[in-house]
Structure 1
């Protein structure tokens, strides 16, 4: 019978399993991820994985939760940074882009079309709610402190949709040498979205 593992060791092993699953989900597609494939990559038997997770969906849910929490940590640090609300809002956008570029597998997994239901996994539901709150909180501050007249939740989702689309274009290689620069597109997009609602400051 296997000896008991310390909580620290369990967390370490779970993180290793999640990292493999995250990579395989992007490289192979979610439907081709399997307990056997994850175990093989780790040099284990599939049976060993069941000491840490009930099934593949539980592993992928943990991977999504971990990715969402890492994204949230970046966004929260940006919003808590120096400067006025316009500077901090720009920092939030940069933090979002930096996460996608630094952790493309995690970013792609977060927005994969096929996903286990987050309601079945409390940690994932909490991480998803935290990330969504962070993607709207800075716009609420813009409305409250920056003189923007808008429905904060709606504007936040418009910003998110635009930025996600731009990041996805970059990841797909659709922004070529002939395309306008990434930051030029982003600045123009934000400026146009804010035009008419902005009373003061520079939100580009």
Structure 2
């Protein structure tokens, strides 16, 4: 008869499984990820994993949930820092980039693979909604304060799409030796998007990386 696990043991075991699954999913691809492969790396039997999760999809949902929540923690911390909306919006962008490069497996798992449909895993749905709220919330504040004049949902997705694009290119090594540095591309992209959306209280010169007015 199997020994009953405490809540703490269950939480620890789930965390170990999720960490392995996160990395293996990116290294192997979702199709090649398996319960046997995860168990083998942990030194467990595949049967042991079923004490923590029903199947591989449940493991992936837990891994994605944890990744989304880690990203949201960083975005929310950035928005809570002191300063005006411009400085806090920069902090949000920095937090997003820092997360991507510090946790590339987690980043790719939540943004580069197909996700399960809504309603299958409520915790994942909640984590996804929290992440999207954080990606839009700071832009809503920019609009509310007159810093930009745009549909906040649309503008947030423009920022997100651009930032994800340049992050993904950098991760894939596609910004070759003839390309400008990652930060130069990123900052110029953001500056051009903001210039097109400046609101009535924020029409001011925008400086390029050399500090010259544009």
Shorter-chain TM band: over 0.9
| Deviations, residues 92-148 of structure 1 (Å, cap 9, x unaligned) | 000000000000000010023333334200110000000000000010011112421
TM-score by length of 1: 0.95
| Deviations, residues 64-108 of structure 1 (Å, cap 9, x unaligned) | 000000000000000110110000000000000000000000001
* Structure 1: gaps (5+ residues): none
Which is worse superposed, 143-152 or 129-138? Answer: 143-152
Paired with 1:113 and 1:67, the residues of 2 have a C-alpha distance of 13
Is residue 95 of structure 2 the alignment partner of residue 95 of structure 1?
yes
Paired with 1:136 and 1:152, the residues of 2 have a C-alpha distance of 7
Which is worse superposed, 69-78 or 187-196? Answer: 187-196
| Deviations, residues 176-196 of structure 1 (Å, cap 9, x unaligned) | 232111111111111211224
Is residue 186 of structure 2 the alignment partner of residue 186 of structure 1?
yes
Per the alignment, residue 65 of structure 2 pairs with 65
Per the alignment, residue 37 of structure 1 pairs with 37
Q: CA RMSD in A?
A: 1.5
Paired with 1:6 and 1:70, the residues of 2 have a C-alpha distance of 25
Name which one, 1 or 2, has greater alpha-carbon Rg: 2
TM-score by length of 2: 0.91
Show the 5 A alignment for 1:109-188: 109-188=109-188
Which consecutive segments of 4 or more residues in structure 1 shift more than 4 A? 201-204
Paired with 1:154 and 1:104, the residues of 2 have a C-alpha distance of 26
The structure carrying a bigger helix percent of its residues is 1
Change (3 A) 1:179 1:51: same
**Deviation, structure 1 residue 203:** 9.9
| Deviations, residues 40-84 of structure 1 (Å, cap 9, x unaligned) | 111111110000000000000000000000000000000110110
* Structure 2: gaps (5+ residues): 209-214
